[in-house]
Amino acid sequence: MPAKWQTWMPRQIDAWHGSTFVQFSHPAARDGYAWLLDKQWQSEDCTVPDDQQELSELSGLGAELWEIHGPRILRKFPVFEDGKRRNQVCYLLWSEAKRVFESRQKAAHETNLKRAQKSEAARLRRAERTVTVTPSPHTNRDRLKEQVQKLPPPTPPQKKAGGLASVDRQVAQRSAAKLGASQLAASKGNERRKRSGGPVTASVEAGEGKGHGKSGESTSIPTKNVAPSVKQGVRPTKEQNGFDRRHEGFRSEVFAFWRELNKESPECPWGGGDRALAALLSDAPSMTLAEFRRLLHNRAASEINSAAIPSSWLRKLKEYSAGPLDRFGKPFGGGRVL
């Protein structure tokens, strides 16, 4: 049975259609020559038999046609010194193909062998690095006890010259710690009063002011309100911490405005609305709730998208100060009323 590499044979087409067609003008002779070349290529030693009857059968010509075309075909298959009949060009091509196949097969075998050796070496290295860890019978608490027992005993405090100097220093440190804690509590109280709108107090150490508590104590004294005063007794609209107390009332008006225009979906989408409202109040610090309602009324009477989320138009609400606007943002008369 031919080897795997013998299933394909190279053939030079121009030479085949040139000299071969000239020498074998009859189609039967060309077919017989081609069949013998194929049989020689697939044989074990690249030869054809020397028996005339067997050659006629291998060429497919039969006895009658072999007697006519056989002598001309056998000129292409001479007998060599080893006593075997073969085609010289076919033998050279066969030898080269066999050499290439065997060299590639040998290289593939060496590559597979090296790969197997490398894999085995890596497996052995992993096996050497593997360490069997046995669980310790002791728990973490037992290990901590053992570590504490191994620690050296604490050294007793040494007496220093000067008698009670070290004791005085400890007392002074404790007093300073108490004083710092009282100041921290006073500062936290001030922060809470700022958020709630109450008076702010300041912590004063004893001894710095006259008549403010005993020695070693801290007291809280009321200070002036840090919010800016407004003329004519009007309460300021903005606290020191940056919160505008108009915010809640204006937001309620926006929710009512939304429910009036969108009765089928009364829940107002408020994503980003706080930032937009804060920006509007920052740009208009003197705006009153009545003016804000008038602006919402003018917007409702304009050609707008009633389902637009408030965060997209709150900051631009001052544009409706002159009255309703058309779809191009131009003022126009008339419009619907809330």
In a shared domain, residues 206 and 272: no
In a domain, 53, yes or no: yes
Range with the poorest average pLDDT among 142-156, 219-233, 256-270: 219-233
For 289, the domain range is 247-320
Residue 335, in any domain of the structure: no
pLDDT attached to residue 192: 66
Contacts of 242 (CB under 8 A, 6+ apart): none
Percent of the chain with pLDDT over 90: 5
**CB contact at 8 A, 239 and 229:** no
Predicted local confidence at residue 154, as pLDDT: 65
Domain count, the chain: 3
DSSP state of 308: S
Which pLDDT score is estimated for 108?
A: 93
Q: Are 19 and 85 part of one and the same domain?
A: yes
| Predicted pLDDT at 107 | 93
pLDDT at 92: 87
Tell me, yes or no, whether 252 and 212 share the same domain: no
Query: Rounded CA gap, 269 and 123, in Å?
Result: 64
CA angle (265, 268, 271) in 5-degree steps = 135
pLDDT band at 118 (very low <50, low <70, confident <90, very high): very high
What pLDDT does residue 116 have?
93
pLDDT(131) > 70: no
Higher pLDDT, 296 or 14: 296
Same domain, 18 and 50: yes
* 208 lies in the same domain as 259: no
| Lowest-confidence segment of 79-83, 208-212, 323-327 by average pLDDT | 208-212
**296 touches 317 (CB < 8 A):** yes
Flag whether pLDDT at 137 surpasses 90: no
How many helices (H) and strands (E) are present in the chain, helices listed first?
Answer: 11, 2
Among the ranges given (9-18, 34-43, 87-96, 317-326), the one the predictor scored with the smallest mean pLDDT: 9-18
Higher pLDDT, 183 or 238: 183
* Domain-terminating residue out of 76, 95, 114: 95
In this structure, the strands spanning 218-222 and 201-205 are antiparallel
DSSP strands (E only) in the chain: 201-205, 218-222
Higher confidence at residue 273 or residue 338? 273
Q: What is the pLDDT of residues 277-318, one digit of tens each?
A: 888 888 888 889 888 888 888 888 888 888 888 988 888 888
Do 192 and 271 sit in the same domain of this protein? no
